[in-house]
Amino acid sequence: MIHQFPNQIGTAWHGTHVILIKCNHQTNEVLSFYKSDHAPTEPISTKCAETLSRFISIGYTLIGAYPLSPSEVQYLLIYR
């Protein structure tokens, strides 16, 4: 029997999930992507703005944007 959870996306999972997306804000290019083991995901676009939009649209919350260099920013998103 499969249990349905109100916050479920895709396959069964629960808890808090973290996504890190590193981008070049000058070119809108995704440079790297990291996620917690069972985090629900969407396909990653080569464009940073589109990738962020996809994750926000499925319920992730942007916690912060952290500059790593003059052209690179790392975005931290969580899903609870």
- C-alpha–C-alpha distance, residues 62 and 65, integer Å: 8
Residues 18-76: pLDDT tens digits? 999 999 999 999 999 999 998 999 999 999 999 999 999 999 999 999 999 999 999 99
Question: Is the residue at 11 inside a domain?
Answer: no
Residue-level pLDDT at 65 = 98
Question: Is the residue at 10 inside a domain?
Answer: no
Q: 15: pLDDT confidence band, cut at 50, 70 and 90?
A: confident
Question: Is the residue at 8 inside a domain?
Answer: no
Question: Is the residue at 7 inside a domain?
Answer: no
Beta bridge partners of 74: 22, 66
pTM exceeding 0.75: yes
Count of domains observed in the chain: 1
Q: Which residue has the higher pLDDT, 5 or 14?
A: 14
Residue 65: give the domain boundaries: 17-79
- Record the tokens describing residue 73, joined without a space: 């920013």
